[in-house]
Amino acid sequence: MLITRLKSAETLESLLKGQIFIINCHGCREVSFPTAEAEALEKALAEQGRVAGVITTDYICNPENLSVRLEKHADAIEAADTVLVLSCGVGVQTVSAMFPGKRVCAGCDTYPLPGFQGVTPLEVDCRQCGECYLNITGGICPITACSKSLVNGQCGGAKDGRCEVDHNMECGWERIYRRLAQVGRLDVLKCPVQIRNYATDKNVGE
């Protein structure tokens, strides 16, 4: 199981630019969603006239389902400056891949809980590290896309774009660099060094 918790108000404010389209994923049975906090955030943004649209759905980790559900919101998403995704890390990665040219923000951190883990139909994964980095990595998870789970950039060992640990995979940080370049957000690589808090990487119930 896993828990999604809203990021701090300060962090959210720094992420949310202009008009916001909100995607709430009430997920699978294995996810605990911060319903009250998400509703309060949506209300506050609506009072500021900043909500371009909202969809509350489930299983956004399934891109085929999600693209059908988003069809009627296409204009609102196109007009929005930011797509805010309130879900586990898999959901955010799915939406980021679907809108590679769009500013897609992870509004939640994802924490592990003991028990059954949901099964996603995707290659992308979330290791529930408790401190989601997707907002500074262009929506590609550095914990699962990099063999060393590096959070501050490439190790320097990649050759021809392949990971030095596993030649069968692309270097995750080369993918992250390309995605950030695509959305014009290479500036985020200049942000202060990330210090990973491994205490958040533990089961919440421990």
89 binds ligand SF4 (CB under 6 A): yes
105 binds ligand SF4 (CB under 6 A): no
Task: Select the span of 33-41, 42-50, 74-82, 139-147 touching ligand SF4 (CB under 6 A).
Answer: 139-147
CB of 127 to ligand SF4, least distance (A): 4
In this structure, the dihedral spanned by the alpha carbons of residues 112, 114, 115 and 119, taken in order and rounded to 10 degrees, is 20
To 10 degrees, what angle do helices 89-98 and 63-70 make?
Answer: 60
Q: What is the DSSP string of 89-123?
A: HHHHHHHHHHSTTS-EEE-EEEEE-SSPPP--SSS
Distance (Å, whole) CA 92 – CA 87: 7
CB of 158 to ligand SF4, least distance (A): 4
155 binds ligand SF4 (CB under 6 A): yes
Query: Contact at 8 Å (CB) between 109 and 131?
Result: yes
Position among 57, 147, 194, 203 found at the interface with ligand SF4 (CB under 6 A) = 147
Task: Select the span of 10-18, 47-55, 73-81, 164-172 touching ligand SF4 (CB under 6 A).
Answer: 164-172
Amino acid at 56: T
Which helix (DSSP H) or strand (DSSP E) does residue 178 occupy? helix 172-182
148 binds ligand SF4 (CB under 6 A): yes
Task: Select the span of 25-33, 57-65, 74-82, 141-149 touching ligand SF4 (CB under 6 A).
Answer: 141-149
Name the site residues for ligand SF4 (rule: CB under 6 A): 89, 110, 126-129, 132-134, 141, 143-144, 146-148, 150, 154-155, 157-158, 163-165, 171-173
